[in-house]
Amino acid sequence: MFFAHSENDAGKKHSLKEHLIATAERASSFAPSESLSPFFYLAGLMHDVGKFQDGFQQYLEQGKPRTPHAGIGAFIASQMGKHSLPLQFVIQGHHAGMPDNQGRKTNIDEYSTDPVIGIAKMRFDETFPEARKNPDLILPTDTLLAECLTRFLFSALTDSDWLDTERHFTSDKSQARVSSTLDHETLIKALERKFAQLPSDGTINLLRTKARTESAVHFDAPRGFFSLQLPTGLGKTLTSVYWALLHARYHQLKRIIIVLPYLNIIDQTATILGDVFGKDSILEHHSGMVEEGEKKDMYEECSVGVDSEFAKRLACENWDAPIIVTTSVQFFESLFSNRPFKCRKNHNIAESVVIFDEVQTLPKEYVEPIIIMLKNIEAIARTSFLFCTATQPAFIKREGFDGIENIRPLITKPDEYFDKTQRVNYVLLNGLQNVSMDFVTDELLKEAGSFLAIVNTKSVARKLFQRVLKSETHDRYYHLSTTMCPHHRKKTIAHVIEDLKKNKRLAVISTQLVEAGVDFDFPCVYRAIAPLDAVIQAAGRCNRNGILSEKGRVVLFNLEQQKMPDKTYRACADWAMGIIKDDIDMLHNAETYEEYYKQITQLFVNADNYKITDARKRFNFKEVHEGFKFIDDLTTSLFVKGYSNESKSLLDEITKSIFITKNQYRRLQQFSVQVFPNFMKDYSSQIEVFNESIHIWHGQYDDNIGIAPIDVEMVF
């Protein structure tokens, strides 16, 4: 009798044979196609073959010595023929993460003369004689498709393994999981009821209805890539979800995944969809969750009662839900990762509709490997992708860019919508010649009504806000940047929206964090010169609902000696300034941004700057994981103890805990600010380190601007 795991609370050991069969059956059910099911079954059956060794059984009995088993399984898989390469990677990496190709080869060499191999293989064959016949499988000849298939196999295996291990150790947690996919008919009817309740009069509402109807016509198009290009304020969220539901019903797809660039948009989108479908249908998965940590007990939350919120937290681990709302960081860093916990959700991308909202925010230095990965997924996993934005990037395949061969537009003539929704006039302050901050301040304070001013860095936002705050020209003054913790930013955005509805005269200074998806509607927006997508998106915060008697005003200005986030941002901003000076009217043209995107990716941006695709071709999973970083991981998260009574209470709760749960980490992030190493060094006397992983800010936190002093630039 061989065992996979030690005794659970009931005193029962986990049978190795039962564990392997259960894992294999789950993995088979997670395969992206029926033809791949036998191969996924084999991976589940073989993943713990190394546990048939006497040393591992002794380890389970005595707790020592620690005996590796994954490498043995990978070596045995290497002897199984030409299609064994994916098996080797996923079996070797199902605990520690998939290695680079050289790591796989080193593992094979290390075990090539180990006598335990023969014993483990013999016992496995005796237990599963049917496994001697390899599944009849032809792997993709395209290297990148084979690499992508390996990622799906890894995801399916790790999720299956952990789910069955969880069933053994914590049955209450296992039973709390609620597996669900799209109930197409119910969700479509709920959304159609919502549409029937919406106002239908007025130009904007008529256009929203027209866009929804035009998009829905394409529900029966073959699976693939689609675009939805509409001006801001025309209801892209509900229109895209409606099409996705119809498309999913037609192709019998299982879920909808909505990928958004920023946390504040997740809250907004989840609220909108929750009001339509009910909160239990929506799974929010934020990018900031602590997923790996220091390998703490994966079952630490099992004491939480069995309820819908607990079930949702469990579903975040593997995206077993009908509608998932997540961030670009979470989606893509998981997709390109080699880590088991981070990857276990990826197999549920198969048979889905994935909606990318505000797609222009994808980092240009990673855009080509992103597009190539999406093409690979579409080819093997019955998945459709929809790109939504007012500023559609040039993702089509062309010379020098390995893009998408065919993207079907849901709106075939977007210019008609843009022409009818010209809600703003653009104004060039001082002809876009350099102006001082004092000059900009004076211009802002001349505004009779509310205004929003968007600048490129936090230090400029702080200085401009402090200047404006000294005046008494407006009813309320607000600052928004990521020197404020997420809870503070979310609360401030809500206050701004509420005050606008009350017709308060507002002065709001912000960084670019408000440009995508934030439902601001100002009569006047000032925008420091920036890349073209930022300029157009900023304009979407002006006269958003078209209720002004005259058009809104978007004032573009060129601040002297202004800082930019990086060299690429500056190059793109300078290029945008040149073409705006030449023809300001082109800002109203729907095709302008796509052409601009082609130009800047040819001139200034290496669309695969970190050689991700080359590393994928070499099956270097660890290298890809380390190279693909949406957010600079040099930053440190500072928890702001003094932000509120809630933050103080949370810290007190954590300091009294034996260990920190994932839920506590999530709550910590709502009161944390990301800072660079130079900030950590300069203000180390005001920072306390708790439990080696939590950095606590004891310095000043301003009710308007957040962490202070802030003389050092931080991540925006």
What is the DSSP-derived secondary structure letter of residue 287?
T
Cα distance between residue 182 and residue 246, in whole Å: 11
Q: Residue 37: in which H helix or E strand, if any?
A: helix 37-46
Cis amide prior to 709 (ω within 30 degrees)? yes
Question: Which residue in 188, 235, 184 sits closest to 214, CA to CA?
Answer: 235
Could you give the C-alpha distances from 679 to 225, 349, 640, 674, 714, in angstroms and in order? 43, 39, 14, 10, 8
Q: Are 531 and 576 in contact (CB under 8 A)?
A: yes
Q: Which token pair is 253?
A: 């797809």
Cis amide prior to 222 (ω within 30 degrees)? no
What is the CATH code for 193-418? 3.40.50.300
What is the CATH code for 3-165? 1.10.3210.30
3-class secondary structure, 202: coil
pLDDT attached to residue 78: 92
Question: Which residue in 624, 635, 566, 568 sits closest to 600, CA to CA?
Answer: 568
Is 193-418's fold the same as 422-589's? Answer: yes
pLDDT attached to residue 544: 86
Spell out, as residue ranges, where the chain has pLDDT lower than 50: 288-307, 710-716
Beta strands in 235-389 (DSSP E): 255-260, 282-285, 323-327, 352-357, 384-389
CATH homologous superfamily, domain 422-589: P-loop containing nucleotide triphosphate hydrolases (3.40.50.300)
Question: Which residue in 104, 162, 92 sits closest to 344, CA to CA?
Answer: 162
3-class secondary structure, 308: helix
Residues 6 or more apart in contact with residue 466 via CB below 8 angstroms: none
Q: Which token pair is 136?
A: 């009849």
Could you give the C-alpha distances from 67 to 7, 71, 111, 654, in angstroms and in order? 17, 11, 14, 34
Q: Are strands 3-5 and 14-15 parallel, antiparallel or unpaired?
A: antiparallel
Other Cβ atoms closer than 10 A to 241: 24
Cα distance between residue 21 and residue 422, in whole Å: 61
Could you give the C-alpha distances from 154 to 181, 340, 418, in angstroms and in order? 22, 8, 45
User: Backbone phi, then psi, for 482, in 5-degree steps?
Assistant: -85, 15
Cα distance between residue 485 and residue 640, in whole Å: 8
Q: What angle do CA 631, 259, 627 make, to 5 degrees?
A: 30
Cα distance between residue 473 and residue 466, in whole Å: 14
pLDDT attached to residue 425: 95
pLDDT attached to residue 303: 28
Helices (H) and strands (E) in the chain, counts: 29, 22
Amino acid letter for position 255: R
Cα distance between residue 454 and residue 459, in whole Å: 12
Q: Spell out a b/e string for 680-697, using b for 16 or more CB atoms within 10 Å of the CB, else e.
A: beebeeebeeeeeebbbb
Q: Quick: pLDDT tens for 321-365.
A: 899 999 898 899 999 999 999 999 999 999 999 999 989 889 899
Other Cβ atoms closer than 10 A to 64: 8
Per-domain boundaries in the chain: 3-165, 193-418, 422-589, 636-707
Could you give the C-alpha distances from 251 to 357, 382, 452, 609, 640, in angstroms and in order? 22, 9, 44, 36, 48
pLDDT attached to residue 374: 98
Q: Are 636 and 674 in contact (CB under 8 A)?
A: yes
Question: Which residue in 488, 250, 448 sits closest to 351, CA to CA?
Answer: 250
What is the DSSP-derived secondary structure letter of residue 682?
H
Cα distance between residue 523 and residue 555, in whole Å: 11
Q: Which token pair is 279?
A: 């909160």
